[in-house]
Structure 1
Amino acid sequence: MSKYDLYENPLPERYASREITKIFSRRTRVSTWRKLWLWLAEAEKELGLAQITDGAIEAIRSNLIVTDESFKVAEAEEKIRRHDVMAHVFALEKDAPAAAGIIHIGATSCYGMLVYVVFPNVSKASKQADDLTKVTDNADLIFMRDALALILPKLAKVIHNLSQFALQFKDLPTLGFTHYQAAQPISLGRRAAQWAQDLAMDLDDIEAAQAGLRLRGAQGTTGTQASFLEIFHGDAVKIDRLNEMLCEKAGFPACYDISTQTYSRKVDLRIANALSSFGASAIHIATDLRLSCHDKIVDEPHEATQTGSSAMAFKTNPMRCERICALARKLSNLNSNFASTYSSQWLERSLDDSAIRRMDIPEMFLLTDAILITLDNVTSGLVVYPAMIRRQMDEELPFMAMEGIIMRLVHKGVSRQEAHERIRVLSLETVREMKTEGANNTLMEKIKRDDFFKSIWADLDELLDPKKFTGRSEEIVERYFAPSGPIAGKLEKYKGYIDSTATATLHV
């Protein structure tokens, strides 16, 4: 059977980077399990377990990277044992027979209980029950930490891109919209600053989730550490030191204070909430850009050979922003799965979290990565059309200038009520012409022909200057992105990445 006859996941195939895909690959996963077994054996030996020899530890260390042949052994073994972790324990025993007696010693699949072969006073039934927990818990925490470290600089770069764009167009007036109806103008840079601020909130949330990550460590079957009390003959200090050593080896600041057979699935939910929130931001930004593309005032980047439609050769669709919306629609809703998984865990654990987490944890990171790649590509290459922006503005600006015209007439001694009524009549006549006849906005021409407004004819060009309608937009942008402003401080730690990384290119 050809690979073309089988379903393939489009996330790793089409959208996400090779770097993040590798983090969640089978080889990385099982090789990380082997590292965890090595670290546990090293720490236990240092704490006085004589059964663990230097030769056994070296045997594991020499076989950390899982070979294709080891995978085949484990696949055959899993069909017998119906347990993936124990299948890979068996495969590692085949690769490192000198370590066969000490692999996984003192641990469940989550680092939990003793291996009864080495400590026969622990019952076989107890050992088998304990093996149903997950060494994958500590591994998953490592994968999520590493994936967060990969996506955070990418998010910072997108914020940087938007900051550069906002500063470049900080004083370019563009029509504002509420309800997608014309509203008071802002500057184009001011609009981009809003996008950057939303992403900065996401950066804060994701960094907080990253900072809160801990290792599960070696906690025992239900988190009581009872089994480790047994192997260390009641010495609780050695248990604490064991976990400190595991954290040092894995690169974590500490273990969670309390775990059951697993670390709390609340951890997954906190990370998913932060990433799903970013997904919502991505949809908002990409949708604004899609609307701008429709209005022909801003375009996402297009390649010279890019085809917009198989039938309509003139089309230049915003396919990158549409892709962002599609991927982010899934990401923004994915946290609901994690909420259900967390809330459905029974007492000290149940296994209905396993299958869904195998899919959802990698997927939320691959989605985030794919969205960031596309956002970087888009925000690095936005094309602005000032003439179209002015044309759009000219269609609506006369209506927005009417309040200023009324006030200028009042200053000339005209009754406000009379001025308001005269403008109301002319405005409604102009709107009717525009809607029924497709005419341009001729309101100002009508005013220039009406002697009622003669006292302010000389002021009309000034009253129609678009920059008079954008308020403090330019100042807001400058202050927000200033070297001493809030964004510069957030991006400082990512400066090396931002300065050295080229614009992301898309796989397809």
Structure 2
Amino acid sequence: MSHDRYENPLISRYASSEMSSLWSEQRKFSTWRKLWVILAEAEQQLGLPITSEQIAELRGQVDNIDFDAAAKYEKKLRHDVMAHVHTYGDVCPSARGIIHLGATSCYVTDNADLLLLREGLQLVARRLMTVIDSLARFATEQRSVACLGFTHLQPAQPTTVGKRATLWCYDLVLDLLEVEHRIGEMRARSVKGTTGTQASFLALFHGDHAKVRELEKLVAKKIGFADSYAVTGQTYTRKVDSQIVDVLSGIAQSAHKLATDLRLLASRKEMEEPFEADQIGSSAMAYKRNPMRSERVCALARFVISLQSSAANTVATQWMERTLDDSANRRLVLPQAFLAIDAILVLLQNISNGLVVYPQVVARNLQEELPFMATENLLMAAVERGGDRQNLHEVIRKRSHEAAAVVKQEGKPNDLLTRLAAEPDFAGVDLQAALDPAQYVGRAPEQVDEFVAEVVAPIRARYANQRELTAELKV
């Protein structure tokens, strides 16, 4: 590794080897060569004078790429596709004349990108499923652990740790459905020609429209797509890129919310992400247990969300049949969006597999607020014993404000129940029984069970035969 030039941290620090390899130069240009082989095969099949020996020669050199030679050609020609046409032709002398026959540059660039984008989405889907599965297992384990709920970041009606985890999980489930939808909607660009009119191919086949249409379908099938986009300019519509980056941004949004919740809960000492034995939280404050994984998720998520506008602006500025200002932008945005999302999901996989809950702290924090939340139940119990609802409400209001002042101004425990016990209107009401958290979590445990059975189980079944991807953190 060179240390005298900038290295992209998405590669060196964050993304997995699987995703990094997908967007490598070797993978990109080998895919170009495979596309040239496919084009030659299809053209031969439809009657053009291309020999099997030429195709065999092309096929034998798909992965044998002289990158130094390609760089020299590009410096001279100022055209990346033609640089690789010449580099390929150097090792395939008998086939040199039929490489790229009838095609425009976007035949290889766009079709290759579509293949890489689809495989990238498939990798993302597998990682999403792994995180969903892990969070669902955690939710089941914590289904009945009552905790304080929050609205407006203020104490609210209790929920359970497991139910809260299903909220995180469901956002990712919705993201997975979007990823699967985008995969299902992808098509090949196939052979559309220089401005999308297929004029060059029509000339190759001497005006035979049927053969050109057959060529398009045949190439799309050989590439691995069931169909091609109905119409294109020089490129497939960059709307496809924008839709894909939108999906990745959606995953980033879900991840940011999840990781922020964990950071807040860590500050309350209720939950923590994994913390290794030798891990250092701070170079100065040795006691610190900073949520570095969750913080990194948020940092990377903001980056992906910011890329959404770049892809959208590329769509908006593709004049007429195409402008080349999409090229440099896409080289940055598309790979980096995938690399960053991959890094986020690796982190979430690591976090969700090692989540730590501190039930005693969870219970203590809940008990500090529960007397206030129990007041409605206490009011109803006192009414059942013959009390006046409006008078009871006023007693509770006054004593609650007094108890809150003691907590906030004096730092003392919540003594609301002691104050109510001294009130004649609450004589005979079992005040302590009102503090059982199970009375206040509603159907949260059952909702966890139903969510896992009805939503997560079908996803687990769909991905049952998929190999689980590793989640080792580099740093």
Shorter chain as denominator, the TM-score bin is: over 0.9
Distance 1:467 1:172 in 2: 9
Looking at structure 2, the residues matched to 342 and 101 of structure 1 have their Cα atoms a distance apart, in angstroms, of: 35
Give the corresponding residue for 2:38: 39
Alpha carbons 2:73, 2:83 under 8 Å: kept: yes
Match of 1:143 in 2: 116
- Confirm or deny that 1:108 pairs with 2:108: no
Aligned to 1:495: 464
CA distance in 1 between partners of 2:470 and 2:53 (Å)? 48
What is the Cα deviation at residue 450 of structure 1? 3.6
% identity of equivalent residues:
47
d(CA) in 1 for partners of 2:469 and 2:75?
46
Q: Pick from 42, 50, 53 the counterpart of residue 51 of structure 2.
A: 53
CA distance in 1: counterparts of 2:420 and 2:146, whole angstroms: 24
C-alpha displacement at 1:503, in angstroms?
A: 5.9
* Partner-residue secondary structure (3-state), 1:373: helix
In 2, distance between residues paired with 1:91 and 1:342?
Answer: 32
Q: Which amino acid aligns with 2:95?
A: A
Q: 1:460 aligns with which of 423, 426, 431?
A: 431
Structure-2 residue corresponding to 1:505: 472
What is the alpha-carbon distance in structure 2 between the residues aligned to residue 61 and residue 6 of structure 1? 36
SS at match of 1:110: helix
Q: For the Cα contact (< 8 Å) 1:278–1:332, is it kept in 2?
A: no
Contact 1:447–1:453 at 8 Å: present in 2 too? yes
The C-alpha deviation readout for 1:57-94, integer Å capped at 9, x for no partner, is: 12211110143xx1111111111111011011111111
- Alpha carbons 1:199, 1:278 under 8 Å: kept: yes
Work out whether residues 169 and 187 of structure 1, in 8 Å CA contact, stay in contact via their aligned partners in 2. yes
Distance between the aligned counterparts of 1:415 and 1:293, measured in 2? 43
Match status 1:98 vs 2:73? no
Deviations 1:110-145 (A, max 9, x none): 23xxxxxxxxxxxxxxxxxxxxxxx21111001101
User: How much does 1:312 deviate?
Assistant: 0.7
Aligned with residue 411 of structure 2, among 438, 456, 466:
438
Residue type matched to 1:318 in 2?
A: P
Q: Does 1:325 align with 2:298?
A: yes
Task: Please give the per-residue CA displacement for 1:133-175, whole angstroms capped at 9, x wherever unaligned.
Answer: xx21111001101111111111011111111111111111100
**C-alpha contact (below 8 Å) 1:175/1:182 kept by paired residues:** yes
Task: Summarize the Cα distance change of 1:367–1:502 in structure 2 as closer, same or farther, 3 Å threshold.
Answer: closer
CA positional deviation for 1:317: 0.7
Q: Distance in 2 between matches of 1:82 and 1:432?
A: 74
Letter in 1 for 2:242: L
Give the residue type in structure 2 aligned to 1:467: A
**1:413-432 aligned within 5 A:** 413-432=386-405
Report if aligned partners of 2:139, 2:162 keep a CA contact under 8 Å in 1: yes
Amino acid at match of 1:138: N
Is the Cα–Cα contact under 8 Å of residues 126 and 468 in structure 2 kept in the other structure?
A: no
1:304 maps to which of 237, 261, 277:
277
Counterparts of 2:73 and 2:399, CA distance in 1: 84
Deviation at 1:451, TM superposition (A): 3.7
Structure 1's unaligned 5+ residue stretches are 112-134
| Paired residues for 1:233-244 under 5 Å | 233-244=206-217
The answer for the alignment partner of 2:378 in structure 1 is 405
Counterpart of 1:44, as a letter, is E
Higher RCO structure (Cα 8 Å, ≥6 apart): 2
Could you tell me which residue of structure 2 aligns to residue 88 of structure 1? 84
1:19 aligns with 2:15: no
The answer (yes or no) to whether the contact 2:130–2:349 under 8 Å persists in 1 is yes
Q: TM-score, normalised by structure 1?
A: 0.91
Contact 1:30 1:66 in 2 (8 A): no
Offset from partner CA, 1:387-411 (integer Å, 9 cap, x none): 0001001110000011111111111
- Which one-letter code corresponds to 2:143 in the other structure? K
- Shift of residue 496, structure 1, vs aligned partner: 2.8
Other-structure match for 2:181: 208
Q: Which amino acid aligns with 2:282?
A: S
* Letter matched to residue 64 of structure 1: V
Q: Report what 1:63 is aligned to.
A: 61
Q: Distance in 2 between matches of 1:313 and 1:424?
A: 45
Q: How many residues align?
A: 475
| Equivalent in the alignment of 2:130 | 157
Letter in 1 for 2:471: A
Alpha-carbon distance between aligned partners in 1 of 2:421 and 2:363, rounded to the nearest angstrom: 21
**SS class of match (1:186):** strand
4+ long deviations beyond 6 Å: none
Tell me the distance in 2 between the aligned counterparts of 1:288 and 1:42: 54
Amino acid at match of 1:177: F
Question: Does structure 1 conserve the Cα–Cα contact (< 8 Å) formed by 2:187 and 2:225?
Answer: yes
Give secondary structure in 2 for the equivalent of 1:65: coil
Q: Aligned to 1:170, what secondary structure does the other structure show? A: coil
Q: Which residue type is aligned with residue 57 of structure 2? A: A
Q: Aligned runs of 1:341-420 on 2, under 5 Å?
A: 341-420=314-393
Q: Is the 8 A contact 1:290 1:321 kept in 2?
A: yes
Work out the CA distance in 1 between the residues paired with 2:40 and 2:465.
38
Q: Secondary structure at the match of 1:183?
A: strand
Q: Which residue of 1 aligns with 2:72?
A: 76
Q: Which residue pairs with 2:259 in the alignment?
A: 286
Q: Alignment partner of 1:314: what SS?
A: coil
Cα distance per residue 1:412-455 (max 9 Å; x no partner): 11112221222222211111111111111111122234444222
Return the alpha-carbon distance in structure 1 between the equivalents of residues 44 and 468 of structure 2: 43
**Cα displacement string for residues 327-369 of structure 1 (whole angstroms, at most 9, x for unaligned residues):** 0111123111111000100000110100000011101111111
The AA in structure 1 aligned to 2:461 is: E
| CA apart distance, 1:4 | 1.1
* CA distance, structure 2, for counterparts of residue 150 and residue 198 of structure 1: 18
Equivalent of 1:219, from 192, 205, 210? 192
Q: Look up the match of 2:446.
A: 475
Q: CA deviation at 1:55?
A: 2.2
Distance 1:503 1:397, change over 3 A: farther
Residue 254 (structure 1) aligned with residue 227 (structure 2): yes
Cα separation, 2, equivalents of 1:222 and 1:158: 43
SS state of the match for residue 221, structure 1? coil
What SS class does the counterpart of residue 421 from structure 1 fall into? helix
Mapped contact 1:27–1:66 kept (Cα < 8 A): no
Partner of 1:335 in structure 2?
308
Q: Which residue of 2 aligns with 1:115?
A: none
Shift in Å, 1:298: 0.8
Q: What letter corresponds to residue 26 of structure 1 in structure 2?
A: E
